[in-house]
Copies of this chain bind each other. A is one copy, B any other.
Amino acid sequence: MEPSDSAHPGPGRAVWTLAPRLLLLPLLPVLLGRGLRLGAAASSSGAAAKDSSAMEELATEKEAEESHRQDSVSLLTFILLLTLTILTIWLFKHRRVRFLHETGLAMIYGLIVGVILRYGTPATSGHDKSLSCTQEDRAFSTLLVNVSGKFFEYTLKGEISPGKINNVEQNDMLRKVTFDPEVFFNILLPPIIFHAGYSLKKRHFFRNLGSILAYAFFGTAVSCFIIGNLMYGVVKLMKIVGQLSDKFYYTDCLFFGAIISATDPVTVLAIFNELHADVDLYALLFGESVLNDAVAIVLSSSIVAYQPAGLNTHAFDAAAFFKSVGIFLGIFSGSFTMGAVTGVVTALVTKFTKLHCFPLLETALFFLMSWSTFLLAEACGFTGVVAVLFCGITQAHYTYNNLSVESRSRSKQLFEVLHFLAENFIFSYMGLALFTFQKHVFSPIFIIGAFVAIFLGRAAHIYPLSFFLNLGRRHKIGWNFQHMMMFSGLRGAMAFALAIRDTASYARQMMFTTTLLIVFFTVWVIGGGTTPMLSWLNIRVGVEELSEEDQNEHRWQYFRVGVDPDQDPPPNNDSFQVLQGDGLDSAGGSRTKQESAWIFRLWYGFDHNYLKPILTHSGPPLTTTLPAWCGLLARCLTSPQVYDNQEPLREDDSDFILTEGDLTLTYGDSTVTANGSSSSYTASTSLEGGRRTKSSSEEVFERDLGMGDHKVSSRGTRLVFPLQENA
């Protein structure tokens, strides 16, 4: 409460480190300088300052202003990049160009801007603002500096290598566009990963869960190990040839194996989606890539935690190894639990409050809860990104069913936009980083070795594992599917984020450069080759040459006819339902594969009998599934809607979350929702007091389909969807 000297607060706040400030970039206006300027001006008007100090202030003020302007310009650069990308994507979609995906495009634009920034801007070597000052013992986090009687507070930014003292600020503009690597992990990845979990095609995912888990866990581990060992061979070779100028340990190689094992077939999946390729293949690829991202993160931190005791730091140490395995299991299960728990809490809150009357509140709550998962996991020492993934899956599986129709589309759209922006931002940053990142280590041998290693690693992971999985699967994973999975081993955002996270050592810099090149190559080449590859491998896709309108109509029928109604299998039913005909959608052969392992049947039964009724408004009443002695509890937990319907309500399918083509009717006011919500094809579970039965609504559906108009009928609601008349 004591008076501070009001004379000079300005210069103190004037020059900040950019990195943390740039963390803000991805979502909202960020810039700070303006206020600083104001503050500085305010302070100088506030006191009878001496001339010299006024001059000083003015200089600092100008500097701050300049720095602030540069920040704005660098952010504008990225916005320009994204805007350009969006417009070009539109052009490509408009002209049906498929050989280049939007992410590839973002990278190209990034590259171009990177070249311009690198060679086009003058190397305005930073004004030498530094001062050396010797200090004993250790680096403190805060430093108080006495400048002619005034005290200034400094904070530790980082250590710099002695060789770089003179070029700390080589080129202001290049520095401005270089982000703190943690941005990727803490801001850009979470929405991408959450969206992946939230838009998981649930049914197909769970149907292939066993295979997906096998690919994700064993596959990634195998791939990591093989790549690590191969790269260790390459490193040894480099040592012999004399190409290696610094240390490169075995653990470094394993770390490289871990980060490069995170596949990201975003390009392939986009094309699959567009062409309506086989849904099971889609589920396998998507599920694997989503989960192996999580595995790769945790694996890489476990490898980092592998620290053998004693001086012989790079020999095998059983204790340290088991500790690493323990860390892996601990972090993974901890993150999983965090994510699942937050999802369950959200489901309970949305079930037992009538929040769905206020979609805005509901969406806000949904967003906050999903975000809190990340924080909770980080606060407990787990991995936020992994927790967010499982939270997304839980939210899609339970909470989504409790949301109002409007909130469903809101939450879906919100995360879709965030995901889209974050993903394209990362890819355009990658393009930029190739030229603006200042610590690249290009090593041709290492790069060639890495390409060979990831190819072999992927092969050693897909083919043997598929062989073993086929022993257990009723419906085998065909050779063409295996080849396609082999081919789709793209590397993307996750590998990049893991690689850029730590580029302090020589080995890490080399890894980063190599990862960048691998991402470039795979996105461009494999992305472009997907369509030819699909036809070469004889993988059936939907009817391709439809117009936009027809595609839309087609997708409708596809969902309606080609896919079985989403209903949980009856408990204790020995065989899972077989798809009820493929109808218009011609994705024949391989669509009837299922898992029938007892553990999944057990899970399905448990989920259907207990979890769904507790967490959502669907499923059989708990009073019938729980033993008699928990009757009171069962009555409390079961929602009244369940009693109204002798037949359990059908549940909305999260399949439709991802699809752009779904038709959502949003009412501005929730009261209508609670009353006659008519989500297109399924009877919404949030329908209160809905008295119609499934069969009657399906009859209408069937009849309407025959008429070419899609009509959904529910009490008080009649809706005919407009279709192209000449369709």
Contacts and interface: CB of A to CB of B under 8 A. Distances in A.
Chain A interface category by residue count: 35 or more
B46 A721 contact: no
A185 B375 contact: no
Contact of A86 (B8, B307, B361): B361
A521 B719 CA distance: 50
Interface in A283-310: 301, 304-307
Contacts of A661: 668-669
B182 A35 contact: yes
Contact of A376 (B21, B76, B501, B659): B76
Nearest to A75: B375
A131 interface: yes
A522 B714 CA distance: 47
Interface in A377-414: 378-379, 381, 383-384, 388, 409-410, 413-414
A159 B155 contact: no
Contacts of A148: 136-138
Contacts of A307: 41, 44-45
Nearest to A87: B353
Interface string A78-108: 0110110011011001100000000000000
24 contacts: A2-B163, A3-B245, A4-B161, A5-B162, A9-B505, A17-B20, A24-B187, A31-B384, A46-B505, A48-B311, A56-B138, A65-B381, A68-B378, A76-B379, A79-B368, A79-B375, A86-B368, A130-B143, A132-B145, A153-B158, A154-B156, A360-B420, A664-B668, A719-B720
A1 B441 contact: yes
Given A368-B79, A716-B725, A152 B160 contact: yes
Interface string A28-68: 11111111101101111111100000001000100101001
A186 interface: yes
B368 A12 contact: no
A73 interface: yes
Given A145-B133, A246-B6, A27 B29 contact: no
A196 to B, nearest CB: 15
Given A34-B383, A48-B311, A191-B28, A143 B154 contact: yes
Copies assembled: 2
Interface stretch (A247-255, A573-581, A614-622, A626-634): A247-255
A707 to B, nearest CB: 13
Contact of A48 (B4, B185, B313, B676): B313
A365 to B, nearest CB: 5
A363 B720 CA distance: 26
Contacts of A676: 722
Given A45-B306, A90-B357, 12 more contacts: A20-B21, A35-B186, A48-B311, A76-B372, A79-B375, A130-B140, A133-B133, A135-B146, A142-B157, A152-B158, A549-B671, A552-B669
Contacts of A379: 69, 72-73, 76
A168 B139 contact: no
A417 B159 CA distance: 41
A238 B155 CA distance: 39
Contacts of A191: 28
A669 B357 CA distance: 26
Contacts of A725: 716
Nearest to A76: B375
Interface string A658-671: 01111111111111
Contacts of A721: 667, 672, 717
